[in-house]
Chains A and B, each alone.
Chain A
Amino acid sequence: MIVPVNSRQLTATVRTSSVLSGDGAKRLVALAAVIVLAIAISPAASDGSRIFLDPGNLTDILRQVSIIGIISLAMTFVILTAGIDLSVGSILAFSTSLTAMALTRFWPGSSYATHLLLTVLLATAGSALAGTLNGAVIALLDIQPFIVTLASMIGLRGLTKWLTENANIDIGFGQDVAAEFASIFRQKTLVIGSYAVIALVFWVLLDRTVFGRHVRATGDNETAARYAGLPIRRVKAIVYTLSGLLAGYSGVLYTAENHQGNPNSGVGYELDAIAAVVIGGTRLSGGKGSIAGTIVGTLIMGILTNMLRLKNVDSNVEMMIKAIIIVLAVAIQKQRKAV
């Protein structure tokens, strides 16, 4: 018996979690193309070498993409459930403010180690809680994620500004715990290392665990997931909690990097994270996508930014070029869908 198959379905049959097959290969080619282009047009240093390839520059790129990169890892899970999290930028600002307030105002007299630990715990746990709240409202009241997280994007921004009286809280310019905090959490190795470790954990979580399977099934067909007896509400509550948690941790890194808690930080980060996820081939309709794809998407955006800045391209032009890249990247991956 003949099974009617179209070319899209054929590609779907070879879909595995590996980066090297099918869609993954296409994305790696795209990444390679961007790298080659970046090398080709990179300005030369005084000794004739390509500035782009300078180890310092390469690690700078990784550090620069880490904050959005970390946020987009959990965003991948959210989008896989056919959801969206617009509140991550506001959660990041909330986290930077909590971090700076904790360093400058809370727990005076405690040892540096305790103080640092409590600070990071407070910021990440507070952010995760904000995420849980998103997830709980989405799961229990059955309201669209777009609306719920739009509301918390606005509400959390308001809460953060109210807590900080809309002022930046500068840290790390003296000989205190805050300075110690900044010097630890802005090290390249720690920032890049955090991104690498979290990426690995999320990759394994999605590809190897029961939870990951449930996430994909929920986004693929929520009705069917209910009929199959899957714990849909729990899955949703967890993905939004993870999203809050990672946005919160990114906020900690942001505070150290910028030496301040900033209630107005993180504006538009949700869109950068969503862009990275989408460029990485994850479908906004849910059910299909990968962490590997999101990492590639993040790197493509990061390298592009770096390349344009090395060429001193106007930042407004940079935004226009990025817009084109986003559409192109998604269009290329969509091609196989044509009848």
Chain B
Amino acid sequence: MTDVLRAENISKRYGGVSALKNVNFAVRPGEVHGLMGENGAGKSTLIKILAGATKPDAGRILLNDQPASIHNPLDSQRLGIGIIYQELDLFPNLTVGENIVIRNLDFPERSIVNFRRIDSFCRPFLEQVGFAGSTRAITSSLPIGQLQLTALARALSMNARVILMDEPTSSLADDGAARLLELVRKLRATGISIVYVSHKMDEVFSVCDRATVLRDGETIAVAEIQSTTSDTLIRMMVGRDLEKRERSASSLTNKVLLSVRGLNTKKLREISFELHEGEVLGVAGLVGAGRSELGAALFGLDRLETGEIRIKGRKAELRSPAAAIAQGIGLLPEDRKLQGLMMQMSVLENSSLSVIGRMQSFGFINRQQERKAVEPIYQQLRLKSSLPSSSVSALSGGNQQKALLARWLMIDPDILFLDDPARGIDVGAKQDIYRIIATLAAAKKGLILVSSELPELLTCCDRILVLSEGRLAGNFTALEASQEAIMAAAISTQRSGTG
């Protein structure tokens, strides 16, 4: 069979670092092809090369066995390659329709915007992806799932035969992800090929026909999904056997660390729960259910309308993050680049940022003390010792997350709210983060863990709260809970409007 898209011996260097070494990659017509690998394995680089966003140093790309020259994104559009980036590249202040037709070679541009013409051009493609809203909606006003559909419709409207999807479900909750996978299958049925970049095993197994595994910029294997197992794939991705994922021993005590009573904020309704010393409390729920807002309320970011938060029995006044930190609450934010890291500062400076005030005399920083203080923490995180003075922007996602987690380990709060800490990072770093969570629990800290991946919650937590539409919809001990029960609770309170 002819491959619809084939990349042969692609190499790419960035400065002194080789990102891709003689990579081969082939996609058949009408297949969903998984592209897997740890962060830094070269997946994104390969995707960018195929999309014309970067040029390879060596190698060639063939479409239907014809050598193709791709110098820019317009070339790849002309050749029928569409791309859905992880961080969607839509214009936030334009309408859905404008986003679809802009720079679209199939939509002849005229000087004056005609919304009716745009609407009739876009409608069939939007229907194909199941987007029911108006083409005149401003993009920034839509939820992330709708944006993804817009991006997908845009690719279809450009007559894409191959669509590259870079971790499309990383920002979607489970229900949105399921719908997207369904759509992917539908598109495959129409003969479109899809390159599906993902970390998530269950997705790859549910939707992909074959998968290519990259490691350290090299093609490790091309596997038929039906005849492989997730353990095999993981082993190929990381190049070593993983510690078996088992429930870590619980450190739960019965001493109450944090008690929340009748909490109401802009997004939360009547939330009450307790967190004990040594407990890992999971928070599940769909995107928009109020998981991050719970963190915002506990960390002094959102104002409480009513309700009471007590820390070790004392009423807490949480007016700002600084106040929350002073009273022993920390928060590892969901978006490490926007809310966590100073990308122009060094790893060391990022980690010591919040406690640097303790390492000074007369305002002058004691740099030796600073360096010494982070050392044991970096060891604990397995962050390479050569890293502290390098810029945090040069690190992989997993190491960036560790640098940020180090900031919180240095502050050492009694209660730490972790908002999806393992999202979008490689398997090895994930394991390190799970280990740190267990270590902190053993040290009698209280941890609140938000995650979109239910298996992660089931292995890490003692108890799992389920939020739905800002309300508490379930409270399970992890041993009793099942993925099905949690999902059922997460979508349950749709009826609460009448009740």
Contact = CB atoms under 8 A, between A and B. Distances in A.
Contacts of A224: 333, 338-342
Contacts of B341: 221, 224
A208 B345 contact: no
A209 B338 contact: no
B98 to A, nearest CB: 27
Given A7-B15, A228-B353, A2 B393 contact: no
Contacts of A231: 322
Interface in B326-368: 326, 331, 333, 338-346, 349, 353-354, 356-357, 360, 363-365
Interface stretch (A9-17, A105-113, A163-171, A175-183): A9-17
Contacts, number: 128
B469 interface: no
A211 B356 CA distance: 10
A3 interface: yes
A6 B340 contact: no
Contacts of A29: none
Interface string B401-441: 00000010001000000000000001010000000000000
A231 B399 CA distance: 27
Interface string B11-22: 000111111000
Given A9-B394, A12-B391, A224-B342, A2 B17 contact: yes
A221 B339 CA distance: 8
Contact of B42 (A2, A5, A208, A220): A2
Interface in A225-241: 225-231
Interface string A176-199: 000000000000000000000000
A227 B331 CA distance: 8
Interface in A1-33: 1-7, 9-10, 12-13, 15-16
A338 interface: no
Given A3-B17, A4-B45, A10-B15, A227 B394 contact: no
Main secondary structure of the interface of B (DSSP, over half): mixed
Given A4-B40, A6-B14, A12-B393, A227 B217 contact: no
A288 B393 CA distance: 13
Contacts of B38: 1
B338 A223 contact: yes
A229 B363 contact: no
B365 A4 contact: no
A1 B41 contact: yes
B54 interface: yes
Contacts of A208: 364-365
Contacts of A284: none
Given A1-B216, A217-B345, A210 B14 contact: no
B395 interface: yes
Contacts of B363: 209-211
Given A229-B321, A230-B354, A287 B344 contact: yes
Contacts of A226: 320-321
Contacts of A7: 14-15
Interface in B197-251: 216-217
A339 interface: yes
A210 B391 CA distance: 19
Contact of A210 (B41, B42, B44, B365): B365
B154 to A, nearest CB: 24
Interface in A204-256: 208-211, 213, 216-217, 220-221, 223-231
B325 interface: yes
Contact of A4 (B44, B339, B426): B44
Contacts of A217: 342, 345, 349, 353
Contacts of A13: 389-391, 394
Given A209-B363, A213-B349, A220 B344 contact: yes
B81 to A, nearest CB: 19
Nearest to A286: B344
A287 B344 CA distance: 7
B492 interface: no
A126 B333 CA distance: 42
Interface string B127-170: 00000000000000000000000000000000000000000000
A2 B217 contact: yes
A7 to B, nearest CB: 5
B353 A227 contact: no
Contacts of A6: 14-15
B345 A287 contact: yes
Contacts of A339: 54
Interface string B36-60: 0011111011000000001000000
A226 B390 CA distance: 23
Most A CB within 10 A of own CB, among B54, B346, B364? B364
Contact of A216 (B325, B342, B411): B342
Q: Closest 9 CB pairs between A and B? A: A220-B342, A12-B391, A229-B322, A9-B394, A13-B390, A229-B325, A287-B344, A209-B363, A7-B15
Given A209-B363, A220-B342, A223-B338, 18 more contacts: A4-B44, A5-B16, A5-B394, A9-B15, A12-B394, A13-B394, A209-B360, A209-B364, A213-B365, A216-B344, A217-B353, A221-B338, A224-B339, A226-B321, A227-B333, A228-B353, A230-B322, A287-B344
26 contacts: A1-B396, A2-B17, A3-B40, A3-B396, A5-B16, A5-B394, A6-B14, A12-B391, A12-B393, A209-B363, A210-B364, A210-B365, A211-B363, A216-B342, A216-B344, A217-B349, A220-B344, A221-B343, A223-B339, A225-B342, A227-B331, A227-B340, A228-B407, A229-B321, A230-B322, A339-B54
